[in-house]
Chains A and B, each alone.
Chain A
Amino acid sequence: MAKTPGRAVFEFLDERFLLSDIITFGRKKMVPEHRQSFWYFFGGICLFLTGIQVATGLLLLLYYTPHVDFAHESVHFIMSQVKFGWLIRSVHSWTANILIGVIFVHMFSTFFLKAYRKPRELTWMTGFFLLVMFMAFGFSGYLLPWNELSYFATRVGTDIAGSLPLIGKWLKTVILGGPDVSQATLSRFFWFHVALLPLAALAFIGLHVLLVQTLGMSKPVGVREKREIPFFPDFLLKDAVGWTLILVLVGVLCVFLPWEVGPKADPFAPTPLGIKPEWYFTFMFTTLKIVPPHILGVEGEMLAILGFLAGGLLWLLVPFLDRRAARDERSPVFTWAGLAVALYIIVMTVLTYTVPKL
């Protein structure tokens, strides 16, 4: 039988890249199917959205200029003059927010399903670092349009970093590239956003995905269901349906709610009332606002910041702290703790937007 052109190309590449072996390895991966397997999709959604961010980010890089005299103007140019610039930029901004939201969902779903238990501790830890990295992506990216909101949100955010004990002042200067938000900050944040963080994220995503591929999907404790489907192509195709629907959502958002350009940052203007950071930081921001000024003689804000750092550390080390889950036993204590954390984050975030003069 005559070879089809497709077959010929495949054989050519197979001889050189040993594709067959890779494919055989890939075909082996199975994904359990049970009542909670719906949550497995979220990891792939995170990856998909990250891909969108890389693509749109790359396109924005073509027209964006990271200098205080041109940043805002270049964003305005993209939104008004570049063909479909409004779309690329709005997709980038909307997807950033959706991505961080999905990362939180992914994190909490793996938490409650105890997917972090042995041998997947490193998957959890790399994932936590990725969460921090993506929030840093969000924080650094937010400054780049150099508008009023971004300038002041950056000021407020770095002020909080600056209030850490001992290292605060130094840390703030390093982050800002100086004592204030300035050109140095813009250059630095641009570097974080398009060079340092992407490389770091790539490395950690690589590790994270490698671990998932090698170890397979974790089944929740006590699930005896043996049904499985192959990862390639069945699970992926199902994941793709989700991706398609998310694309529809993003499209609708971008057409009806394009991201605004905003007024250009004016360092001499007074801070606008009610300035807040992006929504994914608001739970920390509001905590700092409502914490009493002094607790047992220690400055309240400082205590809260240290509390967050300690909490973050504990959260990172959950796989090692949850001994019962490591033995494949139910661990309701950690489930309740996780619920408390999730509830806290949700309540604090909602409070930020519903209570006017917090």
Chain B
Amino acid sequence: MKRRNFVNLFLGGSLLATVAAFLYPVVRYLLPAKQASAAQQKVTAAKVGELPPNSAKSFRFGSSVAVLVNTAEGQLVALSAVCTHLTCTVRFESDTATLFCPCHNGRFDLGGNVLSGPPPAPLETYRVEVAGEDIVVSRKS
């Protein structure tokens, strides 16, 4: 009798432990993570009024860097900030209103077109929308 009870107890106990060990990750999985969801294709790059005219701000977009420019005329443009030559990060030059790559003097206009230097291709441009207080940048599909 004792042996039988021990085996049953052992079986029940180990089964319970295993179920618990499996239930714990599943429950944690189901509870929402701090970062709401995966959709990274729309990014809030800045708040309205944050950037004075003729200035820029770089931000993360997807898995790379992008730059949001507020032109002298007050127009907002967003482009990839990854230079198409050797992937250095370009920066906005306010006196020439161009994007300049310090590595080998690549220069792009605010439409992403190559003005001078070694870059072989233009910078990808993104769509900019103003949603209330937020300036939202998304990919042009």
Complex A–B touching at CB under 8 A = yes
Chain A contacts of B31 at CB under 8 A? 83
| Bound-complex Cα distance A78 to B30 (A) | 11
* Distance from B13 Cβ to chain A, minimum over Cβ atoms (Å): 14
Contact partners of B38 in chain A: CB under 8 A:
63, 65, 70, 73-74, 76-78, 81
Bound Cα distance A76, B35 (Å):
13
- Cβ of A84 under 8 Å from chain B: yes
Cβ-defined contact, A83 with B37, below 8 A: no
Known contacts: A81-B35, A84-B25. The answer to whether A70 contacts B41 by CB under 8 A is: yes
Q: Which residue of B lies closest to A85 (CB)?
A: B29
Q: Which residues of B contact A88 (CB under 8 A)?
A: 25-26, 29
B57, CB-defined interface residue at 8 Å: no
Q: A69-B139, A69-B141 are in contact. Are A59 and B39 (CB under 8 A)?
A: no
Interface of B is mostly: loop
Count residues of chain A with CB under 8 A from any CB of chain B: 19
**Contact flag A70-B39 (CB < 8 Å), given A81-B33, A83-B33:** yes
* 46-102 of chain A: CB within 8 A of chain B: 59, 62-63, 65, 69-70, 73-74, 76-78, 81-85, 87-88
Chain B residues lying within 8 Å of A87, measured Cβ to Cβ, are 25, 29
Q: Interface residues of B, CB < 8 Å — how many?
A: 17
A254 vs chain B, min Cβ distance (A): 11
| Distance of B121 from chain A, by nearest CB (Å) | 13
Rounded to whole Å, the gap between the CB of B105 and the closest CB of chain A is: 28
The reply to whether B35 and A59 form a contact with Cβ atoms under 8 Å apart is no
- Chain B interface (Cβ within 8 Å of chain A)? 18, 25-26, 28-31, 33, 35, 37-41, 62, 139, 141
Instruction: Pick 22 A–B contacts, CB within 8 A, sort by A.
Output: A59-B26, A62-B30, A63-B38, A73-B38, A73-B39, A73-B40, A73-B41, A77-B37, A78-B38, A81-B35, A83-B25, A83-B28, A83-B29, A83-B31, A84-B25, A84-B26, A84-B28, A84-B29, A88-B25, A88-B26, A88-B29, A244-B18
A-B contacts besides A70-B39, A84-B29, A88-B29, 15 pairs, CB < 8 Å = A59-B29, A59-B30, A63-B37, A65-B39, A69-B41, A69-B139, A70-B38, A70-B41, A73-B38, A73-B39, A74-B37, A76-B38, A77-B37, A84-B26, A84-B28
